[in-house]
């Protein structure tokens, strides 16, 4: 029982990381149809931002707090620049964005290697986040994982509020649901696209800050998560925040429980098979936006 | 007075099937390519360069399948590494077993080193049979592609979803191979392959033989792909790529057309992997994961995904650039590779094969300044 609970907690914390990464993708991939492979490198940008800030600001706790907004801005700016330079030319060919942004991601990885060196670097976690919380009966939960869980949930709430309540959110949803109609209604769709990309990429930066608490920072850190995060969005359903939330935690727990009963590699394969099987049942993902489009 | 309009009888619009003679006509470029590959290259190149070319030709064989599935069928196949790997491992398992048998062992060398050392795993045993192993190099990838493709296409899982699923498959296979250290060689893969059906691979003469086998295989598969392209099936595949819904309304099942393209492309990648093993002497997870899987697509993208020759030449050129540049300037090569992706896919979607068309169109556009601006690509 203790083992199952502990494995579930591990799964929930894997899910929280996946959720943080998938949130940005839900916007850029789910809502805009852009497959941004450089999303992983925006995560890396957020992580290196934390690393740089910790070098210049003493106190791990303060630098972490400063890093959150700064990483959001840095990664968001990179995303907006990418959208402006390349992606806006490719909205009619969404599949090709995958290869183009893969090229960008290769260059960004090499840039990180040239600037920060190929070996992984490490940041110090604040004292507050280094311990464990014991829930009794041998069940423990790492503080850093708890922090990530909180950060993920906070991001979900913030994003939901922005999308549902603000004028900007209404414009984003309008563009997503019917681009042409939004355009003739006087919404500057190009501008909305860029802002959406800014927010989505910024969230990747925040995810990068969170990842510095659980692992080393390196040029290829983004690639380790990107495919899993895309799977979360695919299973969750196009542009559906609640779909991503449920899927991220479900996949996290499934992966972690399977890892315990089999091996990491076998668990990976089983999860993939489960996803393909799931898509037989619901090809459009867990939640879908009802439209009359044929496709 | 109402006139009853007679039922309009439009003559059925049929494109006559390409006449047999026309289909079997051998293009001059193909002959030229055959002469270059089979005649000039073996004479002009040193043994070392020829074995490098053999390796590039293996990538070109994958590109033939990519041109079919992606260029014609619009299926972004980002998991070709899976099929390349299955073919490669099937071949390498057989060669490792015969190598071991030649030295009087029953287990391949890496199993003696790291493995439990007891017995050959049951799923290794059939690969001792050469016919079975050879068949598996093609059939195994095709079977995996058929199962995944059937489930995915039948439920109309579309473009991006399919690309991501095939990518996840590549990740899963390479992670699984790494995890099974004792039976697959783990990260190292199957290395140090000595013989090829009784011939020693150390002998340059036998290396040349391997080169000829690969070159002939490439030429045959290109001919096969061309036959597919000009057939009715080829037309249907293009129709599916351009407007899947209309094809469905016309009574065809687009899923079947896609499945065939995906399975054939998988078989080609498997054969390429199988031929790669004697040419290079190694197969490992690093050669088949997500990164190399995307790499298989870049050559076709740069050369021109819709053009068979473009895709093949692109694959060879990119592989050549990779091995010449990445050793001396690894950083510069990575930047260049990224830039190639961005420029080729983003700004020249037809690849270098379409450069002539694009330039011609640009020139006429600047000459005739009037008229409607060119509308976006309909591809």
For residues A172 and A168, what is the distance between their CA atoms, to the nearest angstrom?
Answer: 6
Complex confidence, ipTM: 0.81
CB contact under 8 A, A268 and B172: yes
Encode A10-25 in three state secondary structure: HHHHHHHHHHHHHHHH
pLDDT of B81 strictly over 90: yes
CB contact under 8 A, A100 and B78: no
Which residues of chain B are within 8 Å of residue A283 when distances are taken between CB atoms? 155-157
Adjacent-strand bridge partners of B200:
B195
Q: Show the tokens assigned to B375.
A: 């509308």
CB contact under 8 A, A94 and B161: no
Mutate to test the interface with A, among B174, B341, B343, B349 (most CBs of A within 10 A): B341
Strand A140-142 and strand B199-200: the pairing is unpaired
pLDDT tier, A292 (very low <50, low <70, confident <90, very high otherwise): low
Closest by Cβ to A35, choosing from B160, B245, B347: B160
Interface of B with A in 55-84 (CB under 8 A): 76, 78
Q: What is the pLDDT of residue A293?
A: 54
SS3 A160: helix
Q: Min CA distance, B112 vs chain A (Å)? A: 23
| Residue B303 CA to its chain's centroid (Å) | 14
CB contact under 8 A, B161 and A234: yes
Q: Min CA distance, B16 vs chain A (Å)? A: 31
* Nearest chain B residue (CA) to A101: B342
Listed residue (A185, A19, A40) closest to A104, CA to CA: A40
Mean pLDDT, rounded, of chain A:
86
Which residues of chain A are within 8 Å of residue B156 when distances are taken between CB atoms? 283
Cα dist. B15→A205, B18, B257, B357 in Å?
A: 54, 8, 19, 25
pLDDT of B3 strictly over 70: no
For residues B4 and A129, what is the distance between their CA atoms, to the nearest angstrom?
Answer: 85
Q: Show the tokens assigned to A80.
A: 């907006």
Which residues of chain A are within 8 Å of residue B291 when distances are taken between CB atoms? 223
For residues B69 and B79, what is the distance between their CA atoms, to the nearest angstrom?
Answer: 12
Lowest mean pLDDT among A56-60, A233-237, B333-337: A56-60
* Nearest chain A residue (CA) to B154: A280
Q: Is B161 near chain A, with CB under 8 Å? A: yes
Q: Which residue has the higher pLDDT, B77 or A73?
A: A73
* Nearest chain B residue (CA) to A263: B179
Q: Min CA distance, A141 vs chain B (Å)? A: 28
Q: Min CA distance, B139 vs chain A (Å)? A: 21
| Residue A140, H or E segment | strand A140-142
* Nearest chain B residue (CA) to A117: B331
Q: What are phi and psi of A237, to 5 degrees?
A: 110, 150
pLDDT of B293 strictly over 50: yes
Which residues of chain B are within 8 Å of residue A265 when distances are taken between CB atoms? 172, 175-180
Closest by Cβ to A272, choosing from B172, B335, B376: B172
pLDDT of B17 strictly over 70: no
Task: Using a pLDDT cut of 90, give the percent of chain B over it.
Answer: 26
pLDDT of B372 strictly over 80: no
pLDDT of A275 strictly over 90: no
Q: What is the pLDDT of residue A174?
A: 87
Angle at the Cα of B357 (from B354 to B361), degrees rounded to 5?
140
Interface of B with A in 173-212 (CB under 8 A): 173, 175-180
Cα dist. B125→A10, B120, B128, B150 in Å?
A: 39, 7, 6, 29
Q: Show the tokens assigned to A290.
A: 């009802």
pLDDT per position as a tens digit, A189-243: 889 989 999 999 999 999 999 988 888 898 888 887 888 888 898 888 876 788 8
Q: Is B152 near chain A, with CB under 8 Å? A: yes
Average pLDDT over residues A119-131: 79
Closest by Cβ to A90, choosing from B155, B177, B346: B346
Which residues of chain B are within 8 Å of residue A280 when distances are taken between CB atoms? 151, 155
Q: Show the tokens assigned to A67.
A: 């890093």
CB contact under 8 A, A272 and B161: no
Q: What is the pLDDT of residue B377?
A: 36
Contacts of A183 (CB under 8 A, 6+ apart): A189
Q: Min CA distance, A89 vs chain B (Å)? A: 8
Q: Which residue has the higher pLDDT, B273 or A32?
A: B273
pLDDT tier, B118 (very low <50, low <70, confident <90, very high otherwise): low
Angle at the Cα of A223 (from A219 to A228), degrees rounded to 5?
150
Contacts of A206 (CB under 8 A, 6+ apart): A20, A46, A68, A71, A72, A75, A151, A155
Q: How many Cβ atoms are within 10 Å of B234's Cβ, its own excluded?
A: 20
Average pLDDT over residues A60-87: 90
Q: Is B246 near chain A, with CB under 8 Å? A: no
| Residue B265, H or E segment | helix B254-280
For residues A163 and A185, what is the distance between their CA atoms, to the nearest angstrom?
Answer: 19
Highest mean pLDDT: which of A109-118, B4-13, B346-355? A109-118
pLDDT tier, A61 (very low <50, low <70, confident <90, very high otherwise): confident
DSSP assignments along B158-183, one per residue: -HHHHHHHHHHHHHHHHHHHHH-HHH
CB A143 within 8 A of CB A128: yes
Lowest mean pLDDT among A16-25, A148-157, A281-290: A281-290
Q: Is B375 near chain A, with CB under 8 Å? A: no
Mutate to test the interface with A, among B147, B165, B185, B354 (most CBs of A within 10 A): B165
Matching residue, tokens 């490198």: A41
Listed residue (B306, B239, B292) closest to B66, CA to CA: B306
CB contact under 8 A, B339 and A92: no
Q: Which residue has the higher pLDDT, A295 or A277?
A: A277
Exposed, middle or buried, B317 (CB in 10 Å: 0-12/13-18/19+)? middle
CB contact under 8 A, A272 and B159: no
CB contact under 8 A, B346 and A89: yes
Q: Show the tokens assigned to B289.
A: 């994961």
pLDDT tier, B5 (very low <50, low <70, confident <90, very high otherwise): low
CB contact under 8 A, A99 and B152: no
Task: Using a pLDDT cut of 70, give the percent of chain B over it.
Answer: 88
Q: How many Cβ atoms are within 10 Å of B48's Cβ, its own excluded?
A: 10
Q: Is B338 near chain A, with CB under 8 Å? A: yes
Q: What is the pLDDT of residue B368?
A: 52
Chain A positions touching chain B (beta carbons under 8 Å): 29, 33, 35, 86, 89-90, 92-96, 98-100, 102-107, 109-110, 113-114, 223, 227, 230-231, 234, 263-266, 268-269, 272, 275-277, 279-280, 283, 294-295
Average pLDDT over residues B188-205: 82
């Amino acid at each position: 029982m203790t083992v199952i609970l502990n494995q579930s907690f591990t799964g929930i914390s894997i899910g929280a990381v996946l959720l943080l990464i998938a949130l940005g993708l839900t916007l850029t991939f789910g809502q805009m149809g852009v497959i941004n492979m450089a999303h992983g490198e925006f995560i890396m940008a957020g992580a290196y931002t934390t690393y740089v800030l910790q070098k210049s600001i003493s106190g791990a706790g303060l630098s972490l707090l400063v890093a959150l907004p700064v990483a959001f801005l840095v990664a968001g700016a990179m995303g907006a620049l990418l959208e402006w330079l390349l992606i806006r030319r490719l909205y009619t060919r969404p599949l090709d964005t995958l290869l183009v942004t893969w090229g960008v991601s290769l260059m960004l990885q090499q840039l990180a290697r040239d600037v920060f060196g190929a070996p992984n670097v490490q940041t110090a976690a604040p004292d507050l986040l280094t311990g464990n919380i014991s829930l009794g009966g041998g069940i423990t939960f790492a503080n850093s994982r708890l922090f990530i869980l909180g950060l993920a949930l906070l991001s979900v709430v913030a994003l939901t509020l922005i999308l549902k309540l603000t004028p900007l959110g209404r414009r984003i949803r309008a563009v997503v649901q019917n681009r042409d109609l939004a355009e003739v209604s006087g919404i500057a769709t190009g501008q909305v696209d860029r802002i959406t990309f800014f927010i989505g990429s910024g969230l990747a930066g925040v995810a990068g800050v969170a990842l510095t608490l659980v692992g080393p920072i390196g040029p290829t850190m983004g690639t380790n998560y990107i495919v899993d995060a895309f799977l979360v969005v695919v299973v969750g359903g196009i542009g559906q925040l609640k779909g991503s939330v449920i899927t991220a935690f479900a996949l996290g727990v499934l992966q972690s429980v399977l890892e315990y009963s089999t091996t990491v590699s076998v668990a990976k394969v089983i999860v993939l098979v489960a996803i393909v099987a799931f898509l037989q049942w619901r090809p459009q993902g867990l939640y879908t936006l009802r439209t009359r489009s044929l496709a | 007075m109402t006139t009853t309009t007679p039922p309009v009888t439009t003559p059925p619009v049929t494109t006559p099937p390409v006449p047999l003679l026309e289909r079997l006509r051998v293009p001059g470029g193909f002959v030229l390519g055959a002469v270059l590959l089979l005649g000039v290259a073996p004479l002009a190149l040193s043994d070392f360069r020829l074995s490098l070319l053999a390796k590039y030709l293996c990538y070109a064989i994958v590109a033939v399948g990519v041109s079919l599935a992606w260029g014609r069928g619009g299926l972004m196949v980002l998991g070709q590494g899976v099929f390349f790997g299955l073919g490669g491992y099937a071949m390498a398992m057989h060669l490792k077993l015969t190598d071991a048998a030649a030295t009087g062992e029953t287990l391949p060398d890496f199993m003696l080193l790291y493995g439990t050392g007891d017995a050959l795993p049951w799923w290794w045993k059939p690969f001792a049979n050469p016919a079975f192993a050879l068949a598996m190099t093609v059939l195994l990838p095709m079977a995996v592609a058929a199962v995944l493709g059937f489930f995915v296409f039948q439920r109309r899982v579309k473009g991006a979803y399919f690309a991501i699923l095939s990518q996840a498959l590549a990740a899963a296979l390479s992670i699984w191979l790494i995890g099974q250290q004792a039976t697959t060689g783990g990260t190292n893969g199957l290395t140090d392959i000595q013989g090829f059906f009784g011939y020693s691979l150390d002998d340059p003469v036998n290396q040349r033989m391997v080169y000829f086998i690969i070159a002939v295989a490439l030429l045959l598969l290109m001919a096969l792909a061309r036959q597919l392209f000009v057939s009715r099936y080829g037309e249907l595949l293009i129709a599916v790529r351009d407007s899947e819904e209309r094809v469905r309304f016309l009574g065809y099942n687009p899923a079947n057309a896609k499945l065939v393209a995906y399975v054939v492309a998988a078989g080609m990648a498997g054969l390429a992997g199988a031929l790669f093993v004697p040419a290079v002497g190694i197969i490992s997870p690093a050669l088949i994961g997500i990164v190399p899987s995307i790499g298989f697509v870049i050559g076709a993208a740069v050369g021109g995904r819709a053009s068979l020759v473009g895709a093949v030449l692109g694959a060879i050129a990119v592989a050549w650039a990779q091995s010449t540049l990445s050793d001396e300037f690894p950083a510069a090569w990575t930047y260049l590779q990224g830039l190639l992706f961005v420029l080729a896919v983003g700004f020249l979607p037809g690849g270098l094969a379409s450069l002539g068309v694009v330039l011609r169109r640009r020139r006429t556009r600047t000459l005739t300044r009037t008229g409607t601006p060119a509308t976006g690509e309909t591809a």
